[in-house]
Amino acid sequence: MSALTIFSEEENLFRDAVTGFAEDVVRPRVADMERNAKLDPAVITASFELGLMGIEVAETWGGSGGSLTMVTIAVEEISKVDASAAILVDVQNTLAEYPLRSFATDAQKQQYLTRLTSDTVGAYALSEAGSGSDAFALATRAVHDGDHWVLNGRKMWITNGAEAGIFIVFANTNPAAGYKGITAFIVEKGFPGFTVGKKEDKLGIRASSTVELLFDNCRVPAANVLGPVGQGYKIAIDTLNVGRVGIGAQMIGIAGGALRAAITYIKERQQFGKTIADFQGVQFQVAQAATELEAARLMVYNAARLKDAEQDIAKEGAMAKLLSSQVCERVTSLCVELFGGYGYTRDFPVEKFYRDAKIGTIYEGTSNMQLQTIAKQLLR
């Protein structure tokens, strides 16, 4: 069964609209964005205008009232053209807006979700130099001071950080309690003591900003605590479970874009008096890649459907991210080989798909962390 058959009429119409956006708005700008290592502001503006920056947010707060399945569709389709533009949409919906939708007060939703759906980019700040896979070994501290909390510390590898105006930041309010002291805060870019630091120079998804955040006696209003004090670890885990579906969508999109380019090429490129596509060995490689990609797609959409049905997806989300990132690496590598020497140059698109693929096994939990999560769910 093709994964496309699981879409409703509404979802297919939405998919067509996103595909048009990716082709008409994103594709003409990909080369310049890659060269400049920066998203074109026109892509960000158009993402808001099309409603892609608030897909699941209720209409009350300015969103489209859609589903995680629709977020998955959007991220996959955009990733077929450019993974950097896709991760902008992904992080906005899954990491910035999801915790606000799920844990914020109505006052916080009115103040922040309405901005995130209209014109303000959001980001999620959990990782630190000393807490990557050990996500809860946070060194960033928050101390209560009257009607404010004072944050001190440094966050690393924050996606969308250069463009963002609103950040979901995790800090420890009670180090003696370990991970049970972690609390989530809503931090605005203009808060005193908060600065955006170094932007990373990366292998792939180069147009997507990845930055460090610095907190030097940053004063955050007490009203900006997200969820209960000391319950930030629950918010972080729940959010990452959803975020992994988005990364899965990015990976199947990258692989799909690369495979599409490779199939077009092998049907045109001739060697030994016939097209490369006429060789059975090549046919078998493409068939194997397409089969693995379809399996990964179905796993990603299954996780999205389960979450839309309000089911726990800790295991399914981890499985979807694990498999899709592995498949994406294999498929994009094959596509480079199918292009031969041309595939190793920047004149053709597959080398970029190949570079963009690598991040899937790393961020929002490495592949080993996904395996650990899956094992825990199976054995508990």
Please identify every residue annotated as catalytic. 364
* Residue 375 structure tokens: 């094992």
Residue 201 · residue 150 · CB < 8 Å: no
Query: Which two structure tokens, joined as six digits, stand for 274?
Result: 């016939």
Q: How many CB atoms lie within 10 A of CB 147?
A: 9
CB 213 within 8 A of CB 167: yes
User: Does the CA dihedral 324-56-46-191 come out positive or negative?
Assistant: negative
Contact present, 64 and 57 (Cβ < 8 Å): yes
> Considering only CA atoms, which of 200, 189, 197, 190 is closest in space to residue 214?
197
Using an 8 Å Cβ cutoff, are 78 and 90 in contact? no
The CA distance from 145 to 273, in Å, is: 77
d(CA 280, CA 291): 16
Residue 252 and residue 262: Cα distance in Å, rounded? 15
Residue 250: which residues within 8 A CB-CB, separation 6 or more? 75, 76, 79, 83, 86, 87, 90, 360
Q: Kindly give, in sequence order, each residue whose CB lies less than 8 Å from that of residue 281, ignoring residues fewer than 6 positions away.
A: none
Residue carrying the six token digits 């960000």: 44
Q: In sequence order, what DSSP letters do the residues of 283-301 get, joined into one string?
A: HHHHHHHHHHHHHHHHHHH
